[in-house]
Structure formats: structure tokens, C-alpha cells
Structure 1
Amino acid sequence: MKKRIIYFALLIGLLACSDDFTESPAVGALSDSALQNAVGVDLMLTGAYSVLDGTRANGFGEGWATSGDNWIMDVMSDDAHKGSTDGDQPELFNLETMSWSTGSSYFLGKWGVVFAGVNRANAVIALINSIEEGDFSAQLAEARFLRGHYNFELQKMWGNVPYISDENYANTEFNQPNPGPIWDQIEADFDYAMNNLPTTQDFPGRPTSWAAKAFLGKAHLHQSEWDDAFTLLNDVVANGPYDLMADYVDNFRLAGDNSVESIFSIQFAADDGQSYNGNAQGALNFPNPGPFGSCCGFYQPTQDLLNAFQTDGSGLPLLDTYNQTDVNSDFAIDSSSPFTPFDGPLDPRADYTVGRRGIDYNGYGEHIGNDWIRAEYTDISGSYLPKKNVYWEGEADNQATGAWGQQLSGVNYHIMRFADVLLMAAEAAVEKSSPNLPLAMDYVNRVRDRAKNSNYMQAVDGSGDAANYVIDTYTSFADQAFARKAVRFERRVELGMEGHRLFDLRRWGNYVDVMTEYNTNEARTIPPFGTKAGSYSATNLLFPIPINAIDQSGGVLTQNPGF
């Protein structure tokens, strides 16, 4: 999966095996006949995988928007601010403050890279369908899984998107209309993959039949097809090969790469600082300067997210009241000035998700406050740092430094991990035609029990736990309304800063209400946010179709409502 190495190795092999080099294709190109074999299929399939991380040599629009970990989607939710200064990446500032436009370079960049993934998957499918001999059913299943994934990304972002089939690809009929959702086609690809992929793979990063079943279940979940979603997701939980890792934080360290909790991940690598197969599109999201002089101070967690980790005296979350008290913020407090960290009860996952003053920062020592924050006191992004995407001290071999000092993490990003599946299965158990609240509580408690029994962040002076960590499991889900609230809240504290929050709020139908309340709450500790943040409406439930795409389609594509 280390795409550049594989690409060049296969390219050299293909050219070297030519019987008549005088008939070889031009440099940098391969003829159709050269691809009509197993090596050609694998080469094309590698190209389809390579788009997962968002890196393209021929991309258009804003490059940072293409990141496969969807960090910019968190910026449009209540999990994260854009970070850095307000004037750095102004288009991203517009996304956070709801000043959306159809000409946004960020929307265009994401649109382009995901359709590149669709095209490359279609290229594999069309190639396999053109080969008369050989069994390529496994490779076809992988290609259809990838096409399903890329179309899923398009669907949950834009809602009304064109469907480009492998026949469209083969006939170069790319200009297709976007009359509505493409869920049927997404489900068909995941269903085919589920029935044709092996249960295990020899190479990390390739999907299995179990992964396809989980993604098919998620597709049904996003359509509120609860019974179908439950049947699939519950089977993955009950009979699949996955489990929770013993230690929560290991999901964001090397120990989590292709672990028992990993269902499908982007395969990053840094190779002792010499390779650029790291997360290049996430390079902005490191402290600036922080403990190791990195760049660029983007992707800062919100006060609202940190507040959500507060617990009551028994260790349960404050489902309705978590914003009635703020975890102590050092916004506008210089690092040289006194500061007292919060001493109330907290879920231990707080300090593996949000970097805050007075607490160890991923093994680099105590977070010293605003001297590590690039955002200024007049900016909207506050005083917290991201943690899940930042490699740990002692694992520096998993990062590379680019030409202008950017950090490229080699730790995998989990597009889906088992905790996510447990909570999706719990949600479906709550919502299905015959709700099963005890099972939903059991699945939520498995996630909470892992957090309870994980290693807690330790104080930098060696005196014990870094904060007052208090967490426990539920003893009952009294009714469906309470169970629904508990499951949804658990998704936030378990999966915060992992690129899921925006899409959860949209499919639950409460995005506008949650974000409107978030604006009010966030302004308490970050006053500039209150004066600069925009308002939310039903228009924000889908992204605008990029105007460039509409223009190039000659009017075949139609714009989403409200734009």
C-alpha cells in the first residue's frame, strides 16, 4: 500500500517484460494491451487505493481540502475550529463561519479528489471486464468496495451527486446528471464486495468481507433503515474478527495500525523520516510552534468538545448539562501568568483528544499554554491543540519533515474502527422496529468500559493521574429517548476529532439546532468567535455543488437547494 514504491516497481516490471521495446508506449504511459494481465490489474488497483489519502499530482481546487481524514469537516461541526490565525486559509475561515459559496476552492478540491477515486475504481472494473482469461473476482470486489466508499463520501457531503459507472468510464460518458441520492448504487457495490471478498487479507489496508458488511450497514444507517443496518452491524459485532484494543489511545499510535480494532484505514508511512507517504494533507494540523517547532497551528478542538467530557459524581456523562460548566480555559492568559487546570470529574478520553494547558502533550511534556498556540486573542480558534493526529514523542520515526518544515505523520487514519461499529449497532438497536435497549446499553458500555480500564494520562511530575478522571458504565437505559441520547453522546466523546461529527449531526436532523446553541456556548470562552461566527440553516445540510463542475457540465449538473 506504499503507493509510490509499488507504482514504480510495477511500472518498471511492465516495461521490462515487453517483447518488443520498439512498440512500447510513450514514456509515462501504458498501452491497453500492457495492462491486460494480473500485473496490470494490480497496478490499476493500487492507483485506486492511492486516492484514499487525498494526494493527487493533477488535483484542482484547494489541496488541503482533499485530506482523507476529513479534518475540514470537523471544522464545520462543533468539534473543531479551523485553527491558526483567521487570515490564514481564508476559504477555510469562510467554511467555519458559514460564509459558503459555490466557488469555494475547498469544496472544489474535495469534489475533485473523491471523483478521482471513483474514476480510478471504475478504471479497474472496466479493465477486468475487458480481460477474457483469468479469475479477477477478488480484485473486482476490492475495486467495487473502493467505488462504494468514494461514492459514499460524495453522497454524505453533497446528497445529490452524479453516478459514474464503469460503463460510463469505458465509453468516456462522464457528464452525468445528479437527480438525487445514489444509495442504491453504493449498496450494490458494498453488497458485491461483502459476497466476494475474502474474510482475511494477506496485505494490510485491503478490505475484507467483514469490512464490506460494516460499510453496507453504515450505508443503511445513514438512510435510517434501522432494521437492515442492525442485522448487518450486529453480525459484525457478534461474529466478526474485531475487538476493542485494551488501551484507547493506542488507536492513534503505531500500536493501532492494522490492529484488532481497525476495520478499514488509510495506510500512512514515514519510514524514518525519509518518505513522503505520510499524511501530507494533514500537515497543517500540528502545534505552532509547540514542543517540537512544528507547523502550522490548524485544527484546534473547541471548548464545547472539551466540556462534553465532563462527568457527574458517578462517572456518567452530563448529557443535557455539560455546557453549564466550562472546563477551565486559558484563552487570553499568557503562558507566563498563573493558571489553574480544571479539577472537576472528567472522562479520561478528554486528555487523549484535546491538548490543554497543564497536561502532558503526547509525551512531549506539559502543555505550556498560549506560547504553543498560533491563534491570537483576536482570532476565533481558542487555546486548545489536537492530539489524535499528532504522533507521540518516542515514535518520531513515524514522521517526515517536508520542504517547508511540515510534519507528515506515518500513523494510519481509521476510516472505520470497531468502536464506531459498536456504537452504530447500538444506535440501530435503539431505533429499529423492535428496539433492544439492553443490547444497545451493552454495546455502549463496552466502549465506556474500555475507556474506564485504559491507562490514564499521567501528571508530568509523576504524582499520579493528570486530572480527576471519573468514568463508569450505565446501569439502565430507562426508555428509548434516553437511550438515543446516550448513544449519540457516546459517539461524540469516543470519536471526537476523527471526522465523523458533521455527518452524524446531519443524519440525525439536529445540525441547525446543535450548531446554533454551540455558537452561544463557544462565545463564553472565546469572545471573538461570538462576533465572527455565522448562522446556520437547512441550506447547510448539504454542500453546494462546485460552480466549476456545473459550468463544465454545460448545465447537466443542477445546484443543491439554497445556493
Structure 2
Amino acid sequence: MKKFLTILLSVSLLVSCTDDFTDIDPIGALSDASLQNATGVDLLLTGAYSVLDGVRNGFAADWHITGDNWWLDVISDDAHKGSTDGDQPDLLALELFNWETTNPYVDGKWLALFAGVNRANGVLDLINKSDNPDEFAVQAAQARFLRGHFNFEIQVMWVNVPFISTQNFSDNEFNQPNSGPIWSEIEADFTAAMSNLPASRGGSYSEPGRPIKSTAQAYLGKAQLHQGKWSTALSNLDAVINSGQYALNSDYFANFRTDGENGSEHIFAIQFASDAGQSFQGNMGGTLNWPIGPMTGGMCCGFYQPTQDLANAFQTGADGLPLLDTWSTTDITNDYYVETSEAFTPHTGPLDPRIDYTIGRRGIDFNGFGAFTGKENIRASFTDVSGPYANKKSMYTAGDDGNRGTGGWGQQRSGINFHIIRYADVLLMAAEAAIESGNLEKGRGYVNQVRERAKNSPRADSSPNYVIDTYNSAWSDASTARKAVRHERRIELGMEGKRLFDIRRWGNTVSTLNAFIANEGRTITPFSDRAFSVQSKHSALPIPLNAIDQSAGALSQNPGH
């Protein structure tokens, strides 16, 4: 099937092939007819699932195209690039808000997501050309769900984007204009998926990586939330909550261990797996994001370090509630500029316990490997844009790492699943939609479910001063409620690749990130000294110059880039 091979071999995704090329069948190509059966359709569908992690051989570095969006956190206030400044300078440029249209991270991510769109279109095109398309209704629903997912990510990253339809795909018309948002097409895909996906998993449809009806409904609600369609978003998110299919894990950190995968909180996740070899089914895009040092066996490469700003957000008052108005005015105690050989006392003030399942900080247990020993596990020097912290959510726990393999140069490839949507996210999206719809009490109830779980989860360490409680008094106004739910999203979902898209949809990109740059400078002066001022253009990534050049004039650049 020449069109599928064109995708699989990854010819530039927005370029029409020449007539001469498309008139010649590739050697060994499969015809449409040979694939128009259950086995063939599922083969192509598996190919579409396979690029959820973004990885395709020969196209960009794995970390450029990662499916867990870790480097999108680096251009928010949640994470620094980490490592030394000279390692991955293109990502450092993004972190410092010096964005160029030729940046390989931006270019690689664009290619990876459109590869997903076109693989989903390849499935739909094959089904449409079969003798009995209705026979493949469930497979078509999965393909539309996947196309909705890939287009959702394209939309929230680039804002003004093209939509490549099944007809465009069939006609090789990939040069489509980016005339504006494609929310209506995204909603249509998730709505269609809801109509034909099974209501639950079981029998021949039991694999946890495949979506069911409520998965599509959760994603539909998420898409509507991003558009400010509060009432319809709330209706869909409430339906997921009331379906009885999901519940919060009793242990918060179970969401980030291999033994807790696909549990009650799982809605949709990239299904990673590791082995004793090179773990090609592991998280290849996150391979740089492991602490370096003696504690965990000298992994690689010290990237994706939480910010001081994120650490500060976990401060609480004596009542166990977040410091919604003052959390950013003081810094929790840290060991920046302190060598491992020097004495250090961790922060003694009250903290939300989720900090120590999110951030590796000195003196506190690091995923069962013992108390984090600080600088010797941080690759960067004190003059690099980095900080004193390590990420924890994508890192193995001690005893959970026996089957981990290494890549060709010793890098780790985590087998821990990445949550694209988990139930706590749905609760907090529903809380936000309820608050914006005027139902503050419903919103408070959903937020309190998330906080109650955090309050009752096992503790990462026995020594910190953990103080957490629920909101036991009604919120006085929508402004207070709004601050509470937005803050809760940050501390519940920190270091999960979602922060940038939240502040963008709230319209707070410029104010939030410029305040972050100033506040971070209290601790990490190399960052604030070098970062550019955030401007309105940073509310959307630049369209890659390669894509514009290859589009025959169809694509135009985002404003300001």
C-alpha cells in the first residue's frame, strides 16, 4: 500500500509527492486489497498507536519528539532543561524564550504529531475503501480517537494549524492552510469515537492502551474546556465521573510505578514497557531525564529538573491549605550552591506531601534509594541554568528497576506508563468547569476529592512537616475558587507535561512566566540573568520553517515569529 509506506517511511508530512514517484509502486508494498481485512486494518491501527510516543526511526532525536511532552514543561514554570548549558543548546534556547523557527525540537514535534494524524488517516482511508466499512466500525472509532488526540496536541501547541482530513490524505493534498483553530474537527472526532467505541474493556477488546467510550468523552470534555465551553465540558466530564468506571488510587504515587499501571485512575496512557535489553518499547523520548550520580547507579543525563517555583507551590499554611496568594513570595529551603560534602537541613515549614512524590530534594527519600544527597546527583554546575532538584515521577523506585535495560550508549528507557489523562485530571477539569459555570460547591467537592486522597496517601518520607487538609469552608467567590482549582492542578499534575497548556488556556502566559522568571532569580540567578522577556508571541510555538518552505505557500507563520 504505497500511501501507507509513504507515511511509515516518513516522507515530509505536508508535502505532496511528485506524480512520477506516486505512480510507481514501492518494491514489497502491500496493496489496499491485501490489507482490507481485520488483520490488515489492525496492523495499520497498531502503526497509529505506535507513534503516541512520537518515535520514528531516522526522524529527529527521540527527545525532540517525545510523547510525554516533558520539554513543554521546560518552557513553562515547572521545569528547567537541566544538565549543563552546553548539552542540548536548542532546548536551552527554548527555555530562555529565545525561540527560532528552525529549532529542531519544534520541528521534530511537528513532524511527529502529523505522522500520527496521517497514520490515523491511513486507517480511515483503508476502511472507507473496503467493501464493508461498517465491519470495521470499532477500528474506525479508534482511529478517529487517535486523530483527535494528535490534533488536540497540535492545536494547543501551535494554535493556528491545518487540518488534514481523510479526503486530503486520499487525494495526497497535504498542503492545507493553517487558517485558525481546528476545535470543531477535534470535537467531531471524539464525538464519533464515543458513538462506536465499546462501553468497557473485556473479551477481545481488553487491552488497556485502547480507548473506550468514556475515554473519548473525557477527551471531548477536555477539548471543550480548552475552548471555555464550560457547561458542555462539565456535562461530559460529569458523565465520566458518574460512569462508575474510575476512582482515585488510594496511593497517589501508585500512578507513577509500574506495579500501579492501568489501575482505577487510568483513563488513557502511553503503554511503555522495559526489558533487560535496550527497551525499545520504553520511554525513549524521556531517556535524558535521569539523575546522574551514585544514588541510582549513575544513570543519564540529568535533564528535566523541577523549578524552585514549582517547589514553592507546595507550601501550605497551618490549616493545611495552599498559600494561594503568597506561595511565590518565599522559597522553601534548598541546597543550591551547597556541595554534597557540606551540611544541609531540609525545609522545616509545612508542605503538601505531594512535593516529595514530584520533586527529588536533598535530605528526603528518593523513591526508596535513600535520602537524596544533592549536588553529587545533579549533573549541572552552579553556573548552569538548572537548580538543585531532580524529577521523580518518571523515575523507577528501588526494587522496581530490576528489569530495566539500557540503550546503545547506556541511557535508560523507562517502562513506566505516561498518563495522557488520569482520573484526578478529570476531577479537576470538572471542578474548573463547575466553578466557571457558577457552581462553586460542586467544584469544591471535586477539588476536595483530590486533596483527600493526597492527605491519606502513604508518605514518601517520615521527616518533613507535611500539613494538608481539604477546603472545609465554602468559597466566598468565584475568584477564590478559580485560584484554588488552578493551584490544585499545578501541585497534583506537576511534572506531567500539562502546565504550559493550562496557563495558555487561562490567558496567563505572559504574566505568569514573567513573574516566574523574576521569582526564580532569587535562587537560580543564571536563569533570570539570561532569560528573555516573555511576550504574547510565546502563547504559540512558531510554525517550523521547514514546514512553511515545503507547503507551497499554504502555511503562514504565527504572529511575532
Per the normalisation by structure 2, the TM-score is 0.93
- Report the counterpart of residue 7 of structure 1 in structure 2: none
Select between 528-537 and 273-282 the one with higher mean Cα deviation.
273-282
Distance in 2 of aligned mates of 1:524 and 1:58:
42
Distance in 2 of aligned mates of 1:229 and 1:415:
18
- CA offsets 1:190-246 (integer angstroms, 9 cap, x no match): 000011101123112000000000000000000001111111111111224111000
Correspondence list, 1:276-355, <5 A = 276-291=280-295, 292-355=297-360
Name the CA shift for 1:371/1:28 in 2 (closer, same or farther; >3 Å).
farther
Q: Does the 8 Å CA contact 1:539/1:561 hold for their aligned counterparts?
A: yes
User: Structure 1 stretches of 5 or more lacking a match?
Assistant: 1-24, 459-464
Offset of residue 275 of structure 1:
3.3
Offset of residue 26 of structure 1:
6.9
- Report the counterpart of residue 430 of structure 1 in structure 2: 435
Distance in 2 of aligned mates of 1:28 and 1:500:
42
Q: Does the 8 Å CA contact 1:361/1:367 hold for their aligned counterparts?
A: yes
Offset of residue 526 of structure 1:
1.1
- Report the counterpart of residue 480 of structure 1 in structure 2: 478
Q: Does the 8 Å CA contact 2:362/2:374 hold for their aligned counterparts?
A: yes
Distance in 1 of aligned mates of 2:28 and 2:325:
59
- CA offsets 1:536-556 (integer angstroms, 9 cap, x no match): 010100011001000001211
Distance in 1 of aligned mates of 2:28 and 2:393:
38
- Report the counterpart of residue 95 of structure 1 in structure 2: 94
Distance in 2 of aligned mates of 1:192 and 1:379:
49
Whichever residue aligns with residue 144 of structure 2, its letter is R
Correspondence list, 1:164-563, <5 A = 164-201=164-201, 202-273=206-277, 275-291=279-295, 292-432=297-437, 435-458=438-461, 465-475=462-472, 476-563=474-561
The answer to whether residue 63 in structure 2 is matched with residue 59 in structure 1 is no
Name the CA shift for 1:98/1:274 in 2 (closer, same or farther; >3 Å).
closer
Whichever residue aligns with residue 406 of structure 1, its letter is Q
Q: Does the 8 Å CA contact 1:290/1:373 hold for their aligned counterparts?
A: no
- CA offsets 1:413-446 (integer angstroms, 9 cap, x no match): 00000000000000000002xx111110000000
- Report the counterpart of residue 462 of structure 1 in structure 2: none
- CA offsets 1:253-295 (integer angstroms, 9 cap, x no match): 0133111101000000013446320001100000013521100
Q: Does the 8 Å CA contact 2:248/2:453 hold for their aligned counterparts?
A: yes
The answer to whether residue 88 in structure 2 is matched with residue 86 in structure 1 is no
Per the normalisation by structure 1, the TM-score is 0.93
Distance in 2 of aligned mates of 1:122 and 1:320:
47
Whichever residue aligns with residue 444 of structure 2, its letter is M
- The SS at the match of 1:82 is strand
Offset of residue 398 of structure 1:
4.8
Offset of residue 533 of structure 1:
1.4
Percent of aligned pairs sharing the same letter: 58
- Report the counterpart of residue 154 of structure 1 in structure 2: 154
- The SS at the match of 1:64 is coil
Q: Does the 8 Å CA contact 2:82/2:305 hold for their aligned counterparts?
A: yes
Q: Does the 8 Å CA contact 2:168/2:174 hold for their aligned counterparts?
A: yes
- The SS at the match of 1:409 is coil
Q: Does the 8 Å CA contact 2:278/2:408 hold for their aligned counterparts?
A: no
Q: Does the 8 Å CA contact 2:314/2:355 hold for their aligned counterparts?
A: yes
Distance in 1 of aligned mates of 2:424 and 2:400:
24
User: Structure 2 stretches of 5 or more lacking a match?
Assistant: 1-24
Whichever residue aligns with residue 355 of structure 2, its letter is A
Distance in 2 of aligned mates of 1:325 and 1:386:
21
- Report the counterpart of residue 36 of structure 2 in structure 1: 36
- CA offsets 1:50-100 (integer angstroms, 9 cap, x no match): 00011101424x431211000000000000000001111000000000000
Name the CA shift for 1:27/1:268 in 2 (closer, same or farther; >3 Å).
farther
Distance in 2 of aligned mates of 1:58 and 1:226:
42
Offset of residue 399 of structure 1:
2.3
Whichever residue aligns with residue 431 of structure 1, its letter is E
Name the CA shift for 1:240/1:65 in 2 (closer, same or farther; >3 Å).
farther
Select between 253-262 and 280-289 the one with higher mean Cα deviation.
253-262
Name the CA shift for 1:87/1:131 in 2 (closer, same or farther; >3 Å).
same
Q: Does the 8 Å CA contact 2:142/2:197 hold for their aligned counterparts?
A: yes
- The SS at the match of 1:136 is helix
List 4+ stretches of structure 1 deviating above 4 A: 25-28
- Report the counterpart of residue 111 of structure 1 in structure 2: 110
- CA offsets 1:500-553 (integer angstroms, 9 cap, x no match): 000000000111111111111111111211211111010100011001000001
Q: Does the 8 Å CA contact 1:276/1:400 hold for their aligned counterparts?
A: no
